[in-house]
Amino acid sequence: MASDVSSGGDTATRDPEPDTGFEHRKPESLGLRIQHVLHSRPILGPLAVLLLSIIAFSIISGRFLSAANLGLVLAQVTVIAVLALGQTLVILTAGIDLSTGAITVFTSVIMANLTTKVGLPGGLALIVGLLCGLAMGAINGLLVTRLRLPPFIVTLATLSIFFSLNAVEPPLKTAKLGMPRTL
List pLDDT tens digits, range 1-35.
555 555 555 566 666 666 666 666 667 788 888 88
How confident is the model over 157-178, as a mean pLDDT? 74
Asked if residue 115 lies in contact with residue 175, where contact means CB atoms within 8 angstroms, the answer is: no
CA 136, 139, 144, 150 torsion: positive or negative? Answer: negative
Quote the CA–CA distance of 74 and 82 in Å, as a whole number: 12
> What is the model's pLDDT at position 89?
80
Report yes or no on 87 lying in a domain.
Answer: no
Q: Which residue has the higher pLDDT, 132 or 96?
A: 132
**Residue ranges making up the domain that contains 154:** 95-171
> What is the model's pLDDT at position 183?
45
Of 180, 173, 102, 172, nearest in space to 137 by CA = 102
Quote the CA–CA distance of 96 and 85 in Å, as a whole number: 13
Angle at 99 between CA 122 and CA 151, to 5 degrees: 140
Indicate whether this model's pTM tops 0.75.
Answer: no
Overall domain count for the chain: 1
